[in-house]
Amino acid sequence: MIGGKVGLLLGNYRLLRNPIEPATIRALLNFSRAIDKITERIGSLTAGMVILAILVGFYNVIARYVGRLIGIQLSSNALIELQWYLFSMMFFLGFAYILKHGANVRVDFLYTNWTAKQQALVDLLGTILFTIPFCILGIWVTIDPVLQSWGLLPNGSWGTWELSPDANGLPRAPIKTMIIVAFVTLLLQAIAQAIKYLAVYKGYPYAAEIIQADIENLPLE
pLDDT tens profile 161-199: 999 888 888 999 999 999 999 999 999 999 999 999 999
- The yes-or-no verdict on residue 59 having pLDDT over 60 is yes
DSSP readout, 145-170? HHHHHTTB-TTS-B-PPPB-SSTT--
Q: Which residues contact 208 (CB under 8 A, 6 or more apart)?
A: 116, 120, 200
pLDDT at residue 4, as a whole number: 53
Return the domain boundaries, the chain. Answer: 22-216
Q: Which residues contact 119 (CB under 8 A, 6 or more apart)?
A: 111, 200
- The yes-or-no verdict on residue 11 having pLDDT over 80 is no
pLDDT tens profile 16-35: 666 677 788 889 999 999 99
Rounded Cα–Cα distance for residues 112 and 128 (Å): 21
Q: Which residues contact 99 (CB under 8 A, 6 or more apart)?
A: 131, 186, 189, 190, 193
Rounded Cα–Cα distance for residues 192 and 39 (Å): 10
Rounded Cα–Cα distance for residues 92 and 115 (Å): 33
**Confidence (pTM):** 0.86
pLDDT tens profile 155-169: 888 988 999 888 888
Rounded Cα–Cα distance for residues 168 and 112 (Å): 52
